[in-house]
Structure 1
Amino acid sequence: MAHASDFLAVAEEAADLAGQVIRPLFRSALLVEAKGDASPVTEADRAAERAIRDLLAQRLPAHGVIGEEYGNARADADWVWVLDPIDGTRAFVTGRPLFGTLIGLLHRGIPVLGLIDQPVTGERWIGIAGQATRFRSPIGGSAGCRPCASLAEAELSCTSPDMFDAATAPRFAAVKDAARRTTWGGDCIAYGLVALGLVDVVVDATMKPWDWAALVPVVEGAGGRCTDWAGRPLRLDSDGTVLAVGDPALLPMVSGLLAD
């Protein structure tokens, strides 16, 4: 029977292809001239996703695909790839390397393989269910969440306050008030930093499957937990809330503050 690790080489090749598309546009004249307009980024997203889909169709034609740009194909298959070629569009358009390519693999709806690739810095996180998360970087380093049993000592990260509405904003504020410090931005890179033991908690909302599918194996393979706000496993029918903690002891504390 196939195992998630059997498909790692394809996932890495897909990330390499996406990087070849994305890198030439980062901080390019085309992007600068767009003055924040999303059109060049959208084309980079689409071209990168097309490249990944073409590879998967060639190598693994029986697998399904869910992607941000081109929708679903065979989404009822046992093995389904979940793609977000540029997670962190706002960082990308402003020239900050706090975006990443996300390649996730679900087996019967459960995240079993995740890859976060930063194509500019050359950093890559690889998570496979049941295995320790791997991290590669030109400057070295290794994956592993750090102990942090007290929320008062925790570094909290959130992609943007704009993702909260009248119902969720007060719940996030309760976590923010209890944490040591809050950092904004980062998108998928914030979850990678949880896996490196540099951030302790990430709280996000309005997340789609392509935003979180790759993150779960990375965070959990480093010793953390990645769930919805109620502490439930993330699945395709989840409510869009995402909570990552480096120290599992933080999960009941934070999910309690985020409860309805």
Structure 2
Amino acid sequence: MHSSTELDDDVRQSLIGAAHAVADAAAQITLANFRSAALQTDNKQAGGFDPVTQADRAAEQAMRAVLADLRPDDAILGEEFGPKEGTSGFMWVLDPIDGTRGYISGTPTWGTLVAVNAAHGPVFGLVDQPYTGERFAGGLGISELMRGETRTPLKTKVNTTLEASILFTTFPEIGTPNELVSFKRVAEKVRLVRYGMDCYAYALLAAGQIDLVIEAGLNAYDVAAPIAVIQAAGGTVTNWEGGPAHDGGRILAAATPELHRTALTLLKGV
């Protein structure tokens, strides 16, 4: 696959344009079904609750249709349908509705995630919240919040201490009991913990509103776009071992390298 440093401007513009077109296509469907009494929800998890709606499936189909038109040679990894092989060296990682639990509850904390991966992970990503009109973009020289015609630069906070930090998470909803113990070692030292914000938590970190996001049990399509956005804004995202996180698993996102190092040490329990 490609390295982001190898991309010429035509390829760069093609990828950015396709990402926005994909997000636009999803938004038409997600907004039409959001807070709708006719919304139908199925459960994908035996013995638990992992919801999926017709909006998830229809939105991903629309996203894939855009890519079939604009980027037919690229691979695709999406949440709702099987992977598509490609020959270009690029792979799109799609989550039509990240935060379906929030979506079916009527909260505006869900979003559409669009990322394009090259050789070493995501090179560009969008976290799109069409109900609030916010689109967070990062990578390929871009780091901005788009809201209508307004463009606001994204920049993570400069805080370096846990005692002054705001931490977001989905624990204990997602994660094992042992992982929850590790999480609590960080949570007990921060100023404020908030729960259940899904992809919107990562967007707020990139926007300089919060300091940390710690999660576990995630998939590649949950994190590829947030990683691109946060890294472009100056933040750090790894797994709990300090390695690459774009394949999912246990995620630590931090506004500053100092916060990341401190939280990582506590998560490891060393």
TM-score, normalised via structure 1 length: 0.91
Task: Tell me, in whole angstroms, the C-alpha distance in 2 between the residues paired with 1:146 and 1:167.
Answer: 30
Shift of 1:132: 4.3
Q: Which residue of 2 aligns with 1:252?
A: 261
Match of 2:224 in 1: 213
SS of the equivalent of 1:29 reads coil
Distance 1:246 1:223 in 2: 7
The answer on whether the counterparts of 1:82 and 1:209 sit within 8 Å (CA) in structure 2 is yes
Q: CA contact under 8 A between 1:4 and 1:128: conserved in structure 2?
A: no
* SS state at 2:168 partner: strand
What secondary structure is seen at the aligned counterpart in 2 of 1:199? coil
Give distance in 2, aligned partners of 1:160 and 1:139: 36
Counterpart residue identity of residue 210, structure 2: V
Structure 2 counterpart of 1:67, one-letter code: G
* Aligned residue runs from structure 1 range 234-249, under 5 A: 234-236=245-247, 240-249=249-258
Residue of structure 2 in register with 1:25 after alignment? 33
CA pair 246-233 structure 1, distance change in 2 beyond 3 A: same
Partner SS, residue 253 of structure 1: helix
Q: Which moved more, 1:222-231 or 1:83-92?
A: 222-231
Say yes or no: does 1:6 pair with 2:14: yes
Shift of 1:224: 0.6
2:86 and 2:162 mapped to 1: Cα distance?
38
SS in 2 for 1:134: strand
**Whole-angstrom distance in 2 between the partners of 1:158 and 1:247:** 18
Tell me how far apart the structure 2 counterparts of residues 38 and 20 of structure 1 sit (CA, whole Å). 24
Q: Distance in 1 between matches of 2:23 and 2:246?
A: 23
- CA-CA distance at 1:175 after TM superposition: 0.6
Q: 1:96 aligns with which of 95, 107, 113?
A: 107
Judged with a 3 Å threshold, the aligned counterparts in structure 2 of structure 1 residues 212 and 4 are, in CA distance, closer, same or farther, namely farther
C-alpha contact 2:99 2:109 (8 A) present in aligned 1:
yes
1:1-260 equivalences under 5 Å are: 1-2=7-8, 3-31=11-39, 41-74=52-85, 78-129=89-140, 131-138=141-148, 141-236=152-247, 240-259=249-268
Tell me the percent identity. Answer: 36
CA distance in 2, matches of 1:186, 1:250: 20
- Measured on the aligned residues, the alpha-carbon RMSD in Å equals 2.1
Provide the C-alpha distance between the structure 2 equivalents of 1:24 and 1:160, rounded to a whole number of angstroms: 30
- In the alignment of these two chains, the number of paired residues is 254
Q: Give the TM-score normalised by the residue count of structure 2.
A: 0.88
Higher-strand-fraction structure: 2
Contact 2:167 2:193 in 1 (8 A): yes
Q: Is the 8 A contact 2:42 2:53 kept in 1?
A: no
Q: Which runs of 5+ in 1 are unaligned?
A: none
Q: Deviations over 1:208-241 (max 9, x none)?
A: 00000101110011111111112212243x5x01
Q: Secondary structure at the match of 1:10?
A: helix
Shift of residue 137, structure 1, vs aligned partner: 2.1
The Cα offsets for residues 3-29 of structure 1, whole Å up to 9 and x where unpaired, read as 544311111011001000110111112
> Which amino acid in the other structure matches residue 27 of structure 1?
R
